[in-house]
Amino acid sequence: MIKLFRRFWAYLTASGNQKFNEKADPKVQLQQAIEEAQRNHRTLTEQAANVIAQQKQTEMRLNRSMEQLEKLNGNARQAILMAEEARKGGDEAKAAEYERAAETIANQLITVEAEVEDLKAMSLSAAQASDQAKAAVSQNGVLLQRKLAEQQKLLSQLEQAKMQESMNTAMASLSATVGEDVPTMNEVRDKIEARYAKAKGMSELSGQSVEGRMLEVEQAAQNTQAQTRLSQLKAELGLGTAEAAAPTPEQLAGEPLPEPASEPSPGTPQPGT
């Protein structure tokens, strides 16, 4: 039962992570990854600083111990010399005191020498750890810079992908099927062409109908009246006779009009004169 519950919980976790990754904004996820890398770099830098600080402290302790060792060596030599001088002067008691002091200093020398050796080993190890920490920080800094450069590249690709998706959506809307909320270009074009074809068809039908012929007759009669009126105006102006310009019933019926007689020029003899 417990095993089944664990498997079910693992399935729910994996399914939830998958759905979350599908819905999550890549730009936000990328920023989170960069921030995590920066936090890791700061942590590594702090740890390296602690290692370097420990190495520096060990060096300072070693230097103090070396100074103390040198000082004890000098004091031990001085105590031995002073004991020899007191013995030469016949003061055995004072010489014994100097020898005891020299012995005490010698014991301190042994302790300090051991401490110096330990500090040397610690300093060497700390120096190696410090070099490793510096190298790790430097390497991680280079990786962080690469990630930052990659972030800019990925952000640019993300913007290009969004623009391409918008273009794909716009192009898809141009060829979408009927039934959408907004008509497509193909639908509008088909609608306009259908109206134009219908209007052309109605026009052709109107031209072939009786009403169409009657309109043509009325238009022809109106044109005839206009020509008659124009001929009368020319006759009044002395540009021609109204009888010659006025159309006859035969002309209205479609017979060819006779050419009007030309007026005799001045000086031409008239018949019968």
The domains of the chain are located at 23-163, 200-250
Asked whether residue 248 carries a pLDDT value surpassing 60, the answer given is no
Can you give the C-alpha Rg of the chain in angstroms? 60
pTM above 0.85, yes or no: no
Each residue of 30-71: pLDDT tens digit? Answer: 888 888 888 999 999 999 999 999 989 999 999 999 999 999
pLDDT at 1 over 80: no
Domain spanning 23-163: which CATH class is it, in words?
A: mainly alpha
Question: pLDDT confidence of 180, banded at 50, 70, 90?
Answer: low
Percentage of residues in the chain having pLDDT higher than 70: 73
Q: Shortest CA distance to 110 belongs to which of 70, 69, 77?
A: 69
User: 254 phi and psi, to 5 degrees?
Assistant: 110, 0
- Of 167, 163, 188, the C-alpha closest to 178 is 188
Checking if the pLDDT of 235 tops 70, the result is: yes
Which residue pairs, CB below 8 angstroms and at least 24 apart, start in 156-159?
158/26, 158/27, 158/30
Residues 6+ apart with CB under 8 A from 141: 41
Max CA distance (Å), the chain: 202
Cα separation, 65 vs 148, in Å, equals 47
